Amino acid sequence: MGVEEEVTNISSKLATIEKVLHDAERRRLKDRSVGIWLEKLEDITYEMDDVLDEWNFKIHRAKNEGTSQNARMQPTLQNKVRSFIPSLCSCLKQVPVRSDIAQKIKKINEQLELTLKEADQFKFITSGGIPDSQDFQRIMTTSIIDELEVYGRAADMEKVLDQILSKSSSQGRDGVQIISVVGAGGSGKTTLAQLLFNNDNVKNHFELRNWICISDPFDQKRVAKAILENAGKSSHEAELDPLIRRIKETFSGKRFLLVLDDVWTEDDSKWKPFKDSLKDGAPGSVILVTTRSHRVATVVGSTDTHDLGMISHSDCWLIMQKIALARKSGDLCKKVERIGQKIAEKCKGLPLAAKTMGSLLRFKDTVQQWQNVLDSEIWQLEEAAVELFPHLYLSYNELSPELKRCFSYCAVWPKDCVINVEDLIRLWIAQGYVRPGRRGERLELVGREYFNNLAMRSFFQNLGKYGHEYGECKMHDIVHDFAQFLTKNECHTLDGIGRNSSSERPRHLTIWEEGTEEEMFSSPVVDFGRLRSFFAFGRIGRVIVPQNLFCSLKCARTLALSGCGLAEIPTEIGRLIHLRHLDLSDNPFITMPEAICDLYYLETLDIGFCGKLSCLPERIEDLVHLRHLINDATDELRQIPQGLGKLTSLCSLTRFIVRCNSDDLAILKDLNQLEILHVVIEGEVDFGSAELGKKVNVRDMYLLSRFEAHFIETPCCIETMEPPPNLEELELAGYPRAQLPSWLVTKSHADNLTKLVIARARNVSSLPALWKLSSLEVLVLTEAEKMECLGKEFFGVTKALHENSRDALDTLSDSESSFSAEAVAFPNLRSYIFAASKIGQIGKT
């Protein structure tokens, strides 16, 4: 039917479109007609993804039925089209793929042809023909400031001022110190730098003070000339080298303060000539850098970094009222004060938001107008968006297309929601936003890199670490508003009182209020057949899910129904062939339909805290793409199907029960991609068949021994097992023996283990030489009822212990230790918990 020719035409059209996408996205925010054109293009690429997805699915079924004739031609189409889709800009909402073949492909080609013709009217400029962020020019800053307009930065001022003056004092460290102030756009980094630059103590302290607004792009010759001119030197040289030499001559031997405001470049080669030319300043010289990115702070070689937080609600109100209530009558000021304070709370401590809202309210002369502002989301207030969002857009525009999509997708979360980072990455992968790395890294690792990039650029806050990695985060409300602004034609939100926010044609639906009635699912705004994501966030009660939901979500990649009270999972769920991420956690269903195994593309299945679930589907081996089986807290789940052993892509298995005298562990033999493995042991078993020693990717292992009293005196299977060699986190719960396994302190674990939890080890009377775990950061010991002392094996070298610990360890003499005095016990330990009744007093040390 001419499919190959159609695909060639599609590829050609996509290549043409790709060249103008940069200009189209730049104009999208200000030209509604361009936005509509891009939305049409997005619809086409979504449909293209669906067609390829369906084709792959049908090929898979044909293979299973023994008719795989079409399988040979599929990669040609997929490779041709997919080679263009991943490179399209963020405005092409990339999602996975499907098939209903020739007619659908022909339709796509016709739609692309019309889209290209429509593009002619916009006269787009091809890539490379325009400067970045042309519509959002960065404001050039100066050192001048009115200190009476600044609120809420006294503590930051005091701290950084102390750093600057102490570093530059005669007792300070030799060499030029580099202090970076890092914070989100609009948080007041420039304001703080201006306050410091104009401080009287600073003026008296430095021989030279120099203020340079760097901005972006980083023009080396412009910056070099500005540094010289601000120092009172001429700068007529046309080349960089003589300019750099004159900077070196000008600053050598002098104690100087150089402020580099608004630094964006992460290119070390552009910064290095300046760093080298300034290194001969007098001891105590300081370079003060302001930036939105921790990555920039690292590149410039910061000796100190100050993270700039948010100001208080009351300080936001002081900023707002100074602008909004100027020249307003006293009567109106009194009437709107309480409303204004509530609006100030919506600024969430962001000074720029407070200034923007103050400027907006300056033209509101009635109580009702102020109330309307309070009742609206900031991203829906056109006047506020025009002033506030360009500052955030500058940071956004620096992102790659993949990072733009990942960031904007975060609009599906409710405001002030704690986001689990691993869940977030898995959802990005489900939507197809994470591209495979060149070195073939796992998608989860690439997604982690994406998250770290966004975090370093201040798109997330309240970052909490689980071990070495960020485990949870939040988005600032204003940043969340910006994400909603970017996705206002794509994300839709419903709450319990019928209020909604979004477009008329959403791709992602979030329900985030308790007690949402079934009528809300019949909203004329939402076409369920278009949805790529469906989230139910019940805050107090639970979302009521209509039975026909599973028949409607024909294109869904993500379905999250946690805590929705589902007593039964309908067989219709098997029709959702595009599904990648399925969250059914915390529901009371007892069984799962076999039809769930028809979800060929499923990557994540979360059934955690389904306390009544008694079995998994027998055909589970059909879930060939499953990477994460989250099934913790499923106590009634007593048996794992043998077919699980065929899921060789599995990375997470959070509850695997091993029965006494069974071959359950053999199921794990070929699961060599596992990274997270939690095992429940019900009796003496042989770990040999699991071949854990070959599982080099396992970094997190949890071993729970049940009925430990039954085999206290017998050889322990955990002692004789060969553990995964690269463990980073290990928890032993209910360990039955008196001595912990000797392999804990072998070389591989000594180098890698960062967290060790020993819980309910009621028979353990002493600890091995845990001091050898040189990478250990967290140590937890609970309910060790028979342990009376820690012993010399635990601490190793007494000479290496902190002097304050000696009083509690006076039973250990130097002669008792056979270890080298140069070894250091627990060099990286940051946190420990000893909750063992007989040695509770040791906690004081």
**Residue pLDDT, tens place only, 405-415:** 999 999 999 88
The residue whose two tokens read 């008296």 is 204
Q: Which of 220-234, 328-342, 387-401 has the lowest mean pLDDT?
A: 387-401
Residue 232 falls in which region: left (phi positive, over 0), alpha (psi -120 to 50) or beta: left
Q: What is the mean pLDDT of residues 175-194?
A: 92
Is the alpha carbon torsion for 192, 196, 198, 199 positive or negative? positive
E strand spans, 369-460: 419-420
Integer Cα distance of 324 and 327 in angstroms = 9
β-pair partners for 756: 730, 779
Mean pLDDT (the chain, rounded):
82
Structure tokens at 567: 């007593």
Q: Which of 343-357, 441-455, 537-551, 830-844 has the lowest mean pLDDT?
A: 830-844
What is the pLDDT confidence band of residue 811, given thresholds at 50, 70 and 90?
very low
Q: Cα 459 to chain center, whole Å?
A: 9
Integer Cα distance of 793 and 771 in angstroms = 8
In 142-239, which ranges are continuous DSSP H helix?
154-167, 189-197, 200-205, 220-230
Neighbours of 147 (CB within 10 A): 10
Please give the radius of gyration of the chain, using alpha carbons only, rounded to the nearest integer.
31
Q: Is 423 exposed, middle or buried (0-12, 13-18, 19+ CB in 10 A)?
A: middle
* Model confidence pLDDT, tens digit, residues 331-361: 889 999 999 999 999 888 999 889 888 888 8
- Determine the pLDDT at residue 34: 87
* Model confidence pLDDT, tens digit, residues 509-531: 988 765 554 555 666 667 888 99
Of 300, 312, 297, 311, which is closest to residue 457 (Cα–Cα)? 297
Q: Let me know: does 783 contact 835? Beta carbons within 8 Å.
A: yes
Is the alpha carbon torsion for 544, 548, 551, 554 positive or negative? negative
Q: What percent of the chain has pLDDT over 90?
A: 40
Residue 744 predicted with pLDDT over 80: yes
Q: Let me know: does 671 contact 647? Beta carbons within 8 Å.
A: yes
Integer Cα distance of 157 and 14 in angstroms = 52
| Amino acid in the structure at residue 670 | D
Q: Give the highest mean pLDDT range of 103-112, 363-372, 532-541, 614-623.
A: 614-623
Residue 26 predicted with pLDDT over 90: no
Cα separations (Å) of 241 from 34, 238, 731? 45, 9, 58
Residue 840 predicted with pLDDT over 80: no
In 568-671, which ranges are continuous DSSP H helix?
none
- Determine the pLDDT at residue 38: 85
Q: What is the mean pLDDT of residues 779-793?
A: 82
Integer Cα distance of 124 and 93 in angstroms = 20
- Determine the pLDDT at residue 395: 80
- Determine the pLDDT at residue 406: 95
Integer Cα distance of 256 and 286 in angstroms = 6
Integer Cα distance of 639 and 634 in angstroms = 11
pTM value?
Answer: 0.79
Q: Let me know: does 532 contact 510? Beta carbons within 8 Å.
A: no
Q: Let me know: does 447 contact 420? Beta carbons within 8 Å.
A: no
* Model confidence pLDDT, tens digit, residues 283-312: 889 999 999 899 999 999 999 999 999 999
Q: Cα 179 to chain center, whole Å?
A: 26
| Amino acid in the structure at residue 587 | N
- Determine the pLDDT at residue 713: 47
Of 765, 473, 743, which is closest to residue 756 (Cα–Cα)? 743
* Model confidence pLDDT, tens digit, residues 143-160: 999 888 899 999 999 999
Is the alpha carbon torsion for 732, 734, 740, 743 positive or negative? negative
Q: Let me know: does 434 contact 720? Beta carbons within 8 Å.
A: no
Residue 424 predicted with pLDDT over 90: yes
The residue whose two tokens read 């704690």 is 418
Integer Cα distance of 297 and 301 in angstroms = 7
Residue 207 predicted with pLDDT over 50: yes
- Determine the pLDDT at residue 520: 56
Cα separations (Å) of 749 from 232, 723, 739, 744, 769? 60, 9, 17, 6, 12
Structure tokens at 720: 């004789």
Integer Cα distance of 317 and 340 in angstroms = 7
Residue 836 falls in which region: left (phi positive, over 0), alpha (psi -120 to 50) or beta: beta
Integer Cα distance of 486 and 430 in angstroms = 20
Rounded to 10 deg, the angle between the 401-409 and 421-430 helix axes is 120
Cα separations (Å) of 528 from 336, 411, 478, 551, 595? 42, 18, 29, 9, 21
Q: Which residue has the higher pLDDT, 711 or 739?
A: 739
The residue whose two tokens read 């955030």 is 392
Q: Which of 252-256, 628-632, 743-747 has the lowest mean pLDDT?
A: 743-747
Q: Which residues contact 800 (CB under 8 A, 6 or more apart)?
A: 821, 822, 823, 824, 825
Q: Let me know: does 358 contact 319? Beta carbons within 8 Å.
A: yes
Q: What percent of the chain has pLDDT over 70?
A: 82
Residue 609 falls in which region: left (phi positive, over 0), alpha (psi -120 to 50) or beta: left
Q: Let me know: does 728 contact 700? Beta carbons within 8 Å.
A: yes
* Count of alpha carbons within 13 angstroms of residue 640, beta-carbon side: 26
| Amino acid in the structure at residue 321 | Q
β-pair partners for 461: 474
Number of DSSP helices (H) and strands (E) in the chain, helices first: 24, 23
